[in-house]
């Protein structure tokens, strides 16, 4: 699948928190990694925070933002808006710290062959003003990400109400990094296009792995 490497490539990042598909959501704003102190590198200098209509707070951590920009992990990523991915995750009733799903249903041809290789790893946490454990700051809570120095409120965002639940976007992995999801639970977000683990099977057949 061809990948857009034009000068406007960074304007086309559709899985990033910078994507216009989520910028209309409540409390939307960026926060500094100097405040967040992501535990994993590489990390961008900033992450993003916003709230869905269901009062779910989404944290796109700085490490996730760095992964999204790696074209080896997400090819032709301008086709996969973050809003669509978050909408599907937000429908889940389960909670946990280690899930993974394909970033999109993509396209499925008449022979049942798909075209999406990248997966997103994420957590679905209880709501409230809780600690975000992807940070080196053991006291960091949602309220600090909003109002702290370098928080979203200082960067154009607004106060987020106490969330009912929290989605933390942790990382993006391509086919070559499929071993990095060991221990995570696969969740199919893209029914009825894909049933059960059919999308995993399709990717393995196309790319020659298991």
pTM: 0.89
How crowded is residue 205: how many other Cβ atoms within 10 Å of its Cβ? Answer: 13
- Report pLDDT for 7: 32
Pairing of strands 119-126, 185-186: unpaired
Please confirm whether the linkage preceding 184 is cis (ω < 30° from 0): no
Give the model confidence (pLDDT) of 40-58 as tens digits. 999 999 999 999 999 999 9
Q: Once rounded to an integer, what is the mean pLDDT over residues 103-113?
A: 92
- Residue 169's φ and ψ, nearest 5 degrees, are -85, 115
Give the model confidence (pLDDT) of 88-105 as tens digits. 999 999 999 999 999 999
The sheet carrying 119-126 orders its strands as 26-32, 46-51, 56-60, 165-173, 119-126, 96-102, 185-186
Spell 27-46 as b/e; 16+ CB within 10 A means b.
bbbbbbbebbebeeeebbeb
Q: Once rounded to an integer, what is the mean pLDDT over residues 128-151?
A: 90
- Report pLDDT for 76: 67
Q: Once rounded to an integer, what is the mean pLDDT over residues 61-78?
A: 82
**CA distance to 64, 65, 85, 161, 171, per residue, from 40 (Å):** 9, 12, 23, 28, 10
What's 55's DSSP letter? Answer: S
pLDDT greater at residue 194 or residue 210: 194
Is the pLDDT at 4 greater than 50? The verdict is: no
Take residue 154 and report the two structure tokens written for it.
Answer: 């200082």
Is the pLDDT at 36 greater than 60? The verdict is: yes
Q: Is 38 helix (H, G, I), strand (E, B) or coil?
A: strand
Is the pLDDT at 6 greater than 50? The verdict is: no
Residue 209 — very low, low, confident or very high, per pLDDT cuts 50/70/90?
A: low
Q: Once rounded to an integer, what is the mean pLDDT over residues 7-23?
A: 64
């Amino acid at each position: 699948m061809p990948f857009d490497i034009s000068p406007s490539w960074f304007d086309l990042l559709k899985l990033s928190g910078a994507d216009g598909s989520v910028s209309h959501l409540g409390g939307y704003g960026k926060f500094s990694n100097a405040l967040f102190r992501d535990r994993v590198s590489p990390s961008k200098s900033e992450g993003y925070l916003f709230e869905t209509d269901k009062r779910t707070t989404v944290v796109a951590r700085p490490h996730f933002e760095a992964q999204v920009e790696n074209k080896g992990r997400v090819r032709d990523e301008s086709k996969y808006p973050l809003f669509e991915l978050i909408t599907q995750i937000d429908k889940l009733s389960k909670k946990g710290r280690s899930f993974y799903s394909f970033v999109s249903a993509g396209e499925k041809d008449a022979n049942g062959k798909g075209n999406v290789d990248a997966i997103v790893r994420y957590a679905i946490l209880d709501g409230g003003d809780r600690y975000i454990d992807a940070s080196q700051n053991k006291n960091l809570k949602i309220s600090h990400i909003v109002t702290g120095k370098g928080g979203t409120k200082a960067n154009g965002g607004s106060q987020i109400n106490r969330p009912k639940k929290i989605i933390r976007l942790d990382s993006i992995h391509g086919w070559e990094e499929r071993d990095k999801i060991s221990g995570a639970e696969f969740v199919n977000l893209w029914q009825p296009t894909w049933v059960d683990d059919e999308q995993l099977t399709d990717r393995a057949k196309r790319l020659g792995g298991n």
